Amino acid sequence: MQLEPLTILIAEDSAADRMLLSSIVRRQGHEVLTAANGAEAVEAFRQQRPQLVLMDAMMPVMDGFEAARQIKALAGETLVPIIFLTSLTESEALARCLEAGGDDFLAKPYNQVILAAKIKAMDRLRRLQATVLKQRDQIARHHDYLLNEQRVAKAVFDKVAHSGCLNAPNIRYLQSPYALFNGDLLLAAFTPAGDMHVLLGDFTGHGLPAAVGAMPLAEVFYGMTAKGYGLSETLREMNAKLKRILPVDMFCCATLLCLSFQRRSVEVWNGGMPDGYLHNIASGERTPLTARHLPLGVLNPQTFDDRTEVFPMAVGDRVFLLSDGVIDTCDAKEQLFGVERLQQVFAANRQPDQLFEEIEQALQDFRGEARDDVSMVEVSLLEAAQLIPPPLVYSDSGQSCPLDWSVNFEFRAATLKRFNPLPYLLQLLLEVHGLRAQSGALYSVLAELYSNALEHGVLGLDSSLKRDASGFTRYYQQRNARLDELQDGYVRVHLQVAPKDGGGCLTIRVEDSGKGFDVERVMARPVDGIRLSGRGVSLIRQLSRNASWSDEGRSARVEFFWEALA
């Protein structure tokens, strides 16, 4: 290979040797600079930056060793090979040449062939170093670029993700700042009825590819939760959307919760996440919330399974969710931290509020360093009154508000099986501006009336089953089974809006095809919130006006009023 000519500095105090060497080097095709002592050599280097130096060791003013040190310092990261020219033969002196920063030496008298070969070899080294430096700088630039991209993406995403209620007083969470780029996603939002939906998700992979799916998932989660859709509908939509947009090998493991403060229960769907835990504070027991499903984005909409489980909760009970970063943490010997060690931390935990810190500590002790893909969230059940969901924001002016109308729906068996009409009914009612201030109560009452009509009326389920925790589970199993088998029956919803004294009045009547119930006996019960069963009726009586039942309990009627708007 013909190397491109170099500029070579020759530092040699003997004029004859300098001339001789210069002519040899020039003949080999290189440019030559000369210096008669070390100080001149340093100055020549400073001004003209030669690429290679041939340096006599013994020179007046400044010797070659000192000149070599100074030139190396000036060259910085760039490799400027220095070949010492020496008549020294003691190994100690030769070693000094290299210690001073020399890269090689050439014994006098000069052998042209060896000199040419050494210059070539040093040039190869010089180029290698230049390439390495260039690539290092490129990598550093790319890295900066990537970090900046992540920063921007995170800022945009934080706006979307934190539009929810992660700062609610009953939520504690721990996520590394860039967890998103490890595919971890945590979302929380209130439903119109004041229930809380929480999602902890984990996308396959790392970096931006893991983060891209988060945006559409968050949009579906917030959009549908705000409109009053339940977990099943939200899950179906999220799964279908991810299946449509993600490549085959990408999916999202997720646990979705619906915490109902009024019904004191939690509904759970877990697809591919590690067990979560429902911590019963009174008994100390932790019920695992096990993955029963494939992750989101794997199955097509026809085969997707949206079945959820429902567990009762008492005030103060907690649901704990975690990402696989916790249990898949490996130690130096590739042993997994595992569920057993996690449960040991649980068992040793005395202060529930210290749990995260104790888990982190255990992970650090196990691994020796912290991982950056650990996500944990804990949601506790508070008294319904302790949480005030933020008011909904509306963007329309109110000019086209409908004030005098009525409408009847009849939902029959095939519809009851798979359709939740509540979001549609609520959206219709919230067109009436006067009702918006009480949308939470309105939705809660509507939801209770509808589920009473469906579960106790059409499906004939006995609410006294829900008296204890195991009955609670049985109740929801029966509900699903009977719904699957449902052949006939109906729920009718009658809505009437009428203007009244500048404000207005909404009458809701819900009828069902069931057997009815002993209205007098149920009404005689005190309105309390302790029992697991029968809470629906007292809730309806507390949140609406003039609640009454007729037709042996098959028809329920409530009213909502509003004053003239300012």
Which residues make up the interface to another protein (CB under 8 A)? 183, 202, 204-206, 248-251, 253, 271-274, 291-295, 298, 324, 328, 330, 334, 336
Q: Percentages helix, strand, coil for the chain, rounded to the nearest 5?
A: 45, 25, 35
- Pick 247 or 398: Cβ nearer another protein: 247
- Pick 248 or 393: Cβ nearer another protein: 248
Sign of CA dihedral 403, 405, 410, 414: negative
Provide, rounded to whole angstroms, the least separation between the CB of residue 179 and another protein. 15
Cα–Cα distance for residue pair 77/71, rounded to 1 Å: 12
Cα–Cα distance for residue pair 214/204, rounded to 1 Å: 11
Report which DSSP code applies to 390. P
Provide, rounded to whole angstroms, the least separation between the CB of residue 97 and another protein. 45
- Pick 316 or 338: Cβ nearer another protein: 338
- Pick 338 or 529: Cβ nearer another protein: 338
- Pick 146 or 330: Cβ nearer another protein: 330
Amino acid at 415: T
Provide, rounded to whole angstroms, the least separation between the CB of residue 237 and another protein. 20
Nearest 10 degrees: Cα torsion 142, 147, 151, 152: 10
- Pick 24 or 298: Cβ nearer another protein: 298
Provide, rounded to whole angstroms, the least separation between the CB of residue 236 and another protein. 17
Provide, rounded to whole angstroms, the least separation between the CB of residue 269 and another protein. 12
Provide, rounded to whole angstroms, the least separation between the CB of residue 197 and another protein. 22
User: Is the CB of residue 356 less than 8 Å from the CB of residue 172?
Assistant: yes
- Pick 192 or 276: Cβ nearer another protein: 276
Query: Which single residue is written with the structure tokens 């005098």?
Result: 404
SS3 270: strand
Provide, rounded to whole angstroms, the least separation between the CB of residue 298 and another protein. 7
- Pick 210 or 453: Cβ nearer another protein: 210
Closest CA to 411 of 449, 461, 463, 462: 449
Q: What are phi and psi of 171, to 5 degrees?
A: -110, 130
Nearest 10 degrees: Cα torsion 215, 219, 225, 230: -80
Q: Output the furthest CA–CA distance in the chain (Å, rounded).
A: 125
Beta strands 82-86 and 52-56 are parallel
Provide, rounded to whole angstroms, the least separation between the CB of residue 330 and another protein. 8
Question: Which residues are CB-neighbours of 294 under 8 A, at least 6 positions away?
Answer: 251, 271, 272, 305
